[in-house]
């Protein structure tokens, strides 16, 4: 039975959404004032990869013809120097004498050299270049305007954050997220990634949009095609799968829509999507060589070992989760270990955030009217979220670990944010509008959680970096 227009979720006026978007962008800009450049994990490699793309290098290449695999590319010399200088205040091995304020002031005096040098960015070789387009556009504009390194970084950071917010605004326009989804997006860790020019913020925003598109298409009448939404759904799926290998189960979402509304053109589109995603993934695995890792086996060799012994891999995941410190680290880094894991909220704040997430889960479950016609779509979203979480361990096991190992290292809590958003979407309303009272409760709790999370985030970042007065 199709869901009719009058039963769909309430949509606020476009002008109101534009005002909320402007407010969100303003808040994001304010939070950026608290964080110096390149303070998100692996942000240095991501921005170097983006500068390569801005130079027209869409894939990594070799520095010497006899190298084993692709490891890097050419970037501006001064940009590379700027990236390296900001590592002095990043991570637990940072230089205690280095000052974030002084480094940013120095960056304001340094401009583009317009001379290139080869740098290693092998860790980004597994990601398709398309998710870096906002970064590359920002850097290309900055170089054309001959801005300082600091101004170039700020322009790029703002461009990436604005792109993420545009995607989330579109998602909200299509399908109002439930309270649990909002709470996950308002966690300090999620907001920190959105304001950082890595690929995490764009992945989070793309996942929210994909979930909204899937929900909207599931609720649309069978005879109501929408080419824009369908193309956007395929594009989001491709973007996420080729930038986060563990999200390969997302390919099941367009398959489900294909089964519900079968046509030859949709079948060809889904097959092409699968071939494109698989082709890039295999290319990245086969062509990328990370010289930072000294291993006895290559990535494809380790993958073959685990595929031949799935029970052995399951035991490895079990041992990893049962490690005395692993679970606590995942919970902590899921909600609030910002910076290079060196700008963490307090333990009390971490527990408070988890309590808020539990409250959001309870309210979402309690206020949702579950209908039989939604069961299959909900089950699929839940399965995709759980499967993507499990594949996080496989992705890190083959790309960041040798074989054999006692536990899988390199997994961080933030890797589970996107799977959690997908699962959270399945737990809330998927077709009918919330009652007026329900909307009031959801909006009220969202506002309280947002204010609390912003306060925690602002105080933590201000204390860590001391840039509150840096304009």
Please state, in angstroms and rounded to a whole number, the distance separating the CA atoms of residues 121 and 216: 38
What is the predicted pLDDT for the residue at 433? Answer: 57
How many Cβ atoms sit within 10 Å of the Cβ of residue 134? 22
Q: Would the pLDDT of 430 be above 80? A: no
Is it the case that residue 374 has pLDDT exceeding 90? no
Predicted local distance difference test score (pLDDT) of residue 240:
97
**Predicted confidence (pLDDT) per residue in 349-360, tens digit:** 999 999 999 999
Give the pLDDT score at 8: 45
Report the range of poorest mean pLDDT among 137-146, 379-388, 422-431: 422-431
**How far, rounded to the nearest angstrom, does the alpha carbon of residue 457 sit from its chain's CA centroid?**
18
pLDDT of 6 over the 50 cut: no
Kindly state the average pLDDT of the residues 328-346.
95
Q: Answer for the pair 90, 459: CB distance below 8 angstroms, yes or no.
A: no
| Average pLDDT estimate for 306-328 | 90
How far is the C-alpha of 99 from the C-alpha of 152, rounded, in Å? 20
Question: What average pLDDT does range 239-258 have in this prediction?
Answer: 95
pLDDT at 94: 87
Instruction: Output the CA angle 177-179-182, nearest 5 degrees.
Output: 65
| Mean pLDDT over the full length of the chain | 90
Residue 341: pLDDT band with limits 50, 70, 90: very high
Task: Find all residues with CB under 8 Å of 128, minimum gap 6, and list them.
Answer: 238, 239, 242, 243, 280, 284
């Amino acid at each position: 039975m199709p869901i009719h227009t009058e039963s769909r979720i309430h949509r606020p006026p476009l002008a109101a959404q534009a005002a909320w978007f402007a407010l969100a962008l303003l808040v994001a800009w304010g939070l950026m004032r608290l964080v110096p450049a390149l303070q998100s994990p692996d942000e240095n490699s991501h921005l170097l990869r983006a500068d390569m793309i801005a130079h027209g290098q869409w894939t990594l290449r070799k520095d010497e013809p006899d190298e084993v695999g692709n490891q890097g590319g050419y970037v501006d010399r001064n940009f590379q120097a700027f990236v390296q200088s900001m590592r002095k205040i990043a991570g637990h091995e940072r230089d205690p004498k280095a000052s974030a304020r002084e480094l940013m002031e120095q960056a304001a005096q340094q401009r583009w050299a317009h001379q290139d040098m080869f740098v290693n960015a092998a860790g980004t070789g597994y990601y398709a270049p398309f998710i870096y387009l906002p970064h590359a556009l920002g850097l290309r504009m900055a170089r054309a305007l001959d801005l300082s390194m600091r101004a170039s970084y700020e322009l790029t950071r703002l461009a990436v954050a604005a792109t993420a917010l545009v995607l989330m605004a579109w998602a909200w326009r299509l399908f109002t997220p439930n309270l649990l989804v909002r709470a996950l997006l308002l966690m300090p860790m999620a907001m920190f990634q959105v304001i950082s020019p890595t690929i995490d913020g764009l992945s989070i925003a793309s996942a929210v949009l994909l979930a909204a598109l899937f929900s909207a298409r599931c609720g649309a009448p069978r005879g109501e095609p929408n080419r824009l939404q369908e193309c956007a759904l395929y594009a989001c799926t491709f973007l996420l799968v080729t930038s986060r290998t563990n999200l390969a189960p997302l390919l099941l979402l367009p398959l489900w829509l294909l089964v519900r509304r079968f046509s030859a053109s949709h079948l060809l589109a889904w097959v092409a999507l699968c071939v494109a995603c698989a082709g890039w993934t295999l290319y990245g695995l086969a062509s990328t060589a990370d010289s930072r890792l000294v291993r006895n086996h290559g990535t494809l060799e380790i993958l073959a070992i685990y595929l031949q012994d799935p029970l052995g891999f399951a035991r490895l995941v079990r041992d990893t989760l049962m490690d005395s410190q692993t679970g606590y680290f995942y919970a902590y880094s899921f909600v609030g270990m910002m910076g290079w894991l060196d700008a963490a909220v307090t333990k009390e704040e971490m527990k408070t955030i988890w309590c808020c997430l539990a409250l959001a889960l309870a309210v979402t479950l309690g206020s949702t009217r579950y209908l039989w016609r939604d069961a299959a779509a909900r089950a699929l979203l839940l399965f995709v979220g759980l499967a993507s979480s499990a594949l996080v361990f496989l992705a890190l096991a083959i790309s960041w670990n040798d074989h054999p190992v006692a536990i899988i290292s390199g997994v961080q809590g933030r890797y589970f944010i996107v799977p959690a958003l997908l699962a959270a979407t399945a737990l809330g309303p998927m077709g009918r509008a919330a009652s007026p009272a329900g909307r009031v409760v959801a909006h009220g709790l969202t506002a309280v959680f947002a204010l609390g999370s912003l306060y925690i985030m602002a105080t933590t970042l201000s204390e860590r970096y001391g840039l509150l007065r840096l304009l």
